[in-house]
Amino acid sequence: MKILRNYIFKEFTVPFILSLAILIFVMLVGNLIKLAELVITKGVSFLSVLKLFLYLIPYLLTYTIPIAVLAAVLLSLGRLSSDNEILAIRASGINVFKLIMPLMITGVIISLSLIILNDRVIPKAHYATRKTLVDIGIKNPTAALEPGTFINAFQKYVLFVYSIERNKQTGERNILNNVRIYEPQGKDKPSRIIVARRGEFVSLPEKRIVKLKLIDGTSDEPDLKKPGEFYKLKFKTYYMTLSLADQNENRDIEKKPKDMTMNELKQEIQEYKAKGIDTVPLSAHLHQKLALAFSAFIFILIASPMAIITHRKEKALNFVLAFGIVIIYYLLLIGCEALSLQGHINPALGMWMPNIIFTVIGIVLLIKLCVS
């Protein structure tokens, strides 16, 4: 039995590693293009972009590992089944359940490892990513700007820039043309508007602030005699101090649910409940961490009997089958999350529903295989 177990592990390990490498490569390529754009067109330092790249990898692993497990099971057991090796093993008196038990144990170990990844590593990586983006925004504010679109990267203000050029003296890409700045005043109140022909960012990283120098424009200024109304003020030079949206007055970044561990989420839920605030989004996020971690085990449970029953060793067909299962799983997850957030089902049940459905299907297929 030991020889057979080692043989199954060997058949599983090689396609798992190859599938994982391919998936990570494919997912990184799209992000690498965006990161390269930050260096080439927006002048962000290579070190900052490298940090963003490294922080991205743990987030990808939480999705690529379960998918790689699924593909590896379908490829390995599908090959054994098509070559009649499983038929020979069963003929020697070994039950199919004992045959795939090592893979089940492997799935449990991988899922427990993913819990640690989802609970400890990914929140830290996500928080570090946001801190790096804030640092990039302070050192190179134009990296947060996209000409021709409204920008909400700064507190209190919405910016619109028609084009961005390089400063001929410094070589930095920080000259803004035709700048519009909107400062919302609240519901049913007109926004304060500042318009300038040109603008230039002056970054002060040591003070963690960004100054915007505006040239040749007009500014709406509050009318002291008529509160809520403005009068136009022309200017040659106008300085504004901007703070990034992710930076509060204490110059620290507030954690979002994606930046929190499960213990931090539980504490946040208790605090919100004490204040009478709806905690469904936080509860859904908490259970989603666990459900996604156990998707690796669930995929092994459903793929093992499916690979033996379908009796296929073609790699292309097994990859298509794997991605079909993955698409159905994540569509169910997204749908159940939406129902949870809308209050139609309990968030814990909603996040675990795809796992429950796939577990039932896997058990049914496994029983059918064992009794056949």
pLDDT cut 90: percent of the chain above it: 41
Residue 76 within a domain: yes
* Contact partners, residue 194, CB within 8 Å, separation at least 6: 179, 180, 181, 183, 214, 217, 218, 219, 220, 238, 240
Q: Are residues 271 and 366 in the same domain?
A: yes
Q: What is the pLDDT of residue 287?
A: 96
Between the CA of residue 285 and those of 10, 262, 265, 340, what are the distances in Å? 36, 9, 8, 11
Q: Of 242, 274, 305, which one is at a domain's C-terminal end?
A: 242
Q: Are residues 228 and 269 in the same domain?
A: no
Q: Are residues 98 and 214 in the same domain?
A: no
Q: Could you report the per-residue pLDDT of 74-116, keeping only the tens digit for each?
A: 999 888 888 888 878 877 878 788 888 889 999 999 999 999 9
Range of the domain at 317: 2-138+259-371
Q: What is the pLDDT of residue 43?
A: 64
Q: Are residues 187 and 297 in the same domain?
A: no
Residue 250 within a domain: no
Q: Could you report the per-residue pLDDT of 294-338, keeping only the tens digit for each?
A: 999 999 999 999 988 877 666 778 788 889 999 999 999 999 999
Q: Are residues 109 and 50 in the same domain?
A: yes
Domain count, the chain: 2
Q: Are residues 164 and 131 in the same domain?
A: no
> Are the CB atoms for 331 and 302 separated by under 8 Å?
no
> Are the CB atoms for 325 and 307 separated by under 8 Å?
no
Q: Are residues 85 and 209 in the same domain?
A: no
Which parts of the chain have pLDDT scores under 50? 249-250
Backbone angles phi, psi at 312, to 5 degrees: -120, 140
Q: What is the pLDDT of residue 249?
A: 46
> b/e map of 270-287 (b: 16 or more CB within 10 Å)?
eeeeeeeeebeebbbbbb
Residue 147 within a domain: no
Q: Are residues 176 and 108 in the same domain?
A: no
Q: Are residues 266 and 133 in the same domain?
A: yes
Q: Of 212, 242, 272, which one is at a domain's C-terminal end?
A: 242
Q: How many CB atoms within 10 Å of residue 48?
A: 19
Q: Of 215, 242, 269, which one is at a domain's C-terminal end?
A: 242
Q: Are residues 11 and 158 in the same domain?
A: no
Residue 146 within a domain: no
- 3-class secondary-structure state, position 188: coil
Residue 216 within a domain: yes
Structure tokens at 219: 């500014």
Instruction: Find the length of the chain.
Output: 372
Residue 180 within a domain: yes
Residue 288 within a domain: yes
> Are the CB atoms for 352 and 332 separated by under 8 Å?
no
Q: Are residues 6 and 133 in the same domain?
A: yes
The label of the residue with tokens 């492997």 reads: 106
Q: Are residues 278 and 367 in the same domain?
A: yes
